[in-house]
Amino acid sequence: MPNTEQIRFQTNVCYIESQGVLKTPESTLKLNLSEQYILSYLIDNYGKPITKDELLNVGWPDRIVTEASLFQVIRALRVKLNEEKKR
């Protein structure tokens, strides 16, 4: 089995980017493409300020969507990452 890079969050959830999944001790959650694009971008740019427009372009390349779509993906990621509060 090839070595698969995992990123472990403080909530004990692991992101396996090559598979587009979040793993917990109890389950494996498949992320949709927008969730994968946005989470990977946030990880790659950790510690840097990121604009909503950047995330909209990353999450939906070649498509125009409203900010509501971005907020929905961010909310879904927070739930899937088991975040209890905003930071």
Separation in Å, CA 85 to CA 3, 6, 16, 75: 33, 23, 23, 11
Give how many domains the chain has, as a whole number: 1
Q: Are 49 and 37 in contact (CB under 8 A)?
A: no
Instruction: State the CATH number of the domain containing residue 51.
Output: 1.10.10.10
The predicted pLDDT at position 1 comes to: 41
Cα gap 17→40, rounded to integer Å: 7
Backbone phi and psi for residue 76, each to the nearest 5 degrees, phi listed first: -60, -40
Rg (CA), the chain: 13
pLDDT digits (tens, 9 = 90+) for 27-76: 999 999 999 999 999 999 999 999 999 999 999 998 999 999 999 999 99
Asked whether residue 18 is assigned to any structural domain, the reply reads yes
Residues composing the chain? 87
Asked whether residue 71 is assigned to any structural domain, the reply reads yes
Is the whole-model pTM more than 0.95? no
* Domain range enclosing 26: 7-80
